[in-house]
Structure formats: C-alpha cells, structure tokens
Chains A and B, each alone.
Chain A
Amino acid sequence: EDQVTQSPEALRLQEGESSSLNCSYTVSGLRGLFWYRQDPGKGPEFLFTLYSAGEEKEKERLKATLTKKESFLHITAPKPEDSATYLCAVQAMRNQGGKLIFGQGTELSVKP
C-alpha cells in the first residue's frame, strides 16, 4: 500500500534556527513527490515537485531534496512568516492525473 509519513509532527524553531523536515514514502513507482504549504483556514499552496532521486529544488529559504525512500525540506534561517503546516505528497505511476497521497504534515512554528 502506498504510504507517506512525515516527521516530526510539530517543530518549534527560533528565528534564524535552520532545520529539516522529513517525508518518508513507499510507493509502487514514483511519478512525482510534491511539497505544499498550508496556512490555517486556507488550502495547500504548491511549493515544489521532485521527480527523481538526487533532484533538488530551491525557493527563497526552502530547499527540497529527494532520495529513493525519502525527501527533506530544509529551512535555512527561518522567519516567523514561514510558520505553517508543510505537507508532502506522492503521485504513483499507476494513477491517472493528479491523484496524490498526502502525509499528515509537519506543523512549523517560528518564534521571533
């Protein structure tokens, strides 16, 4: 069964304190791995797509990396506005279109 597990469930950082979020996955044929950010009361906001092991993507203070079993979202020198829930999702080769399997998310809180 396809599965996505994110850790930790919650993470509290001080402003400027870099860290990483983990997304472990099992899927029969990975088409793509996605990272989203979700603010309270809002829908998920797309951040990155990764397709193959070794691939990396960057956007401002965020960098996503991918191996054959997991993905990391590295946050460098975070700011309070980075506080949100970060969601990881995978798309299996056998699924049509954009059917995604999501993890439970990591709730990030950055204190000034």
Chain B
Amino acid sequence: NAGVMQNPRHLVRRRGQEARLRCSPMKGHSHVYWYRQLPEEGLKFMVYLQKENIIDESGMPKERFSAEFPKEGPSILRIQQVVRGDSAAYFCASSTRDANNSPLHFGNGTRLTVT
C-alpha cells in the first residue's frame, strides 16, 4: 500500500522560472493538502483540495502560487516566477473522505532550491 508520493524529491530553479510539484495521495484518499516548511520554521498550511475543487486556500500567497487536483492524475502545486524566498520543503498530505476525524498522512516532500 503505497503512501503519499511526491515528485520530484529535489528541484532546482533559477529566479524567474516556474516550479511544478506533484503529489499522488494514498490509495482511497480523496483529500489533499499542501504545506510549506521554511528553514528554521514550522510547517505552514497552504491549501486544501478535493477532486476538482479548492476547499481552503487561506494559506496560499496571493500571487504566483496556484494548486489543482484534477479528476484524473496527481495534485499539482505551481509556483510561477520563483524567487529566492520560495526555497523551502513543500509537503503534500492526504486523508480519507472523513477528513475531520482522520489524520493526515504526509509524503516525503519536494525540496525546492531557487538560485
């Protein structure tokens, strides 16, 4: 039973380029969450998605960041025109349908480095 799969594990981008981070939830999980972990900081919520719907994006920066979870395929976190401050570990988590009473299961993250 595969866990939450994220790829790539490491991603290097130059300032101004686009970064695409992918996440496949655990089998049977229909809720996906993205969190960001900046150096020396805790995990911060970014966005909560269900299939084809954004439920809560209160933690997403207003510009350059977007997320989707299409009917088919993985969830994508997209960062346009990256800046050095975007360098961080980005974690995806998933949960079952009853997300209010089930724990989140995290992937091993994508470490984004902006040069």
A interface vs B, CB < 8 Å? 31-32, 34, 36, 41-46, 49, 87, 89, 95-105
Contact = CB atoms under 8 A, between A and B. Distances in A.
Contacts of B91: 43-44
B33 A97 contact: yes
A97 B107 contact: no
B108 A42 contact: yes
Instruction: Tell me the dominant secondary structure on chain A's binding face.
Output: loop
A102 B43 contact: yes
Given A96-B100, A97-B48, 6 more contacts: A87-B42, A95-B56, A97-B33, A97-B100, A99-B45, A104-B42
B32 to A, nearest CB: 10
B21 interface: no
Nearest to B59: A99
B12 interface: no
Given A44-B91, A87-B43, A99 B106 contact: no
Contact of B103 (A34, A99, A103): A34
B42 A103 contact: yes
Contact of A100 (B58, B101, B104): B104
Given A41-B108, A46-B105, A49-B103, A97 B31 contact: yes
B44 interface: yes
